[in-house]
Amino acid sequence: MPDYRVNDDAVTHARKLIDDGKVDVDTEWSDAAPSAEDGNAEIEKHGYEGYAAWHLALDPDASAETKRRYRFPYGDFSKVNRAALIHGKQRAAQNDHGAIEKVFDDLLQRVDAKHP
């Protein structure tokens, strides 16, 4: 199991989106999760830096400019998805990624406090 690192830039991006009200609290993650084509479009439009901003973890063993490097998405490239935060928190806990789990929990609490 890779030892993922927290993507601090993505955490900052997610907090700003939440504070700006760019949050989807109604759509299930299975319906909102971006497709591979959506990811390619994001990379084409904003580069890997833009793509990375939507993933809360980095795989340090993967090359920087590959999708494989960026793990644990939290939104659809336009909004934070509350269900994605729940899903990510559960997945991080199941795979013993404690720091990633904590980030998801913090963001989930932020969403719930600002968008009840």
Residues 92-106: tens digit of each pLDDT = 999 999 999 999 999
Helix axis angle, 82-94 relative to 98-114, nearest 10°? 160
Backbone angles phi, psi at 54, to 5 degrees: -105, 15
pTM for this entry: 0.95
Domain locations in the chain as residue ranges: 5-114
pLDDT of residue 19: 97
Cα 60 from Cα 46, distance rounded (Å): 21
Residues 30-71: tens digit of each pLDDT = 999 999 999 999 999 999 999 999 999 999 999 989 999 999
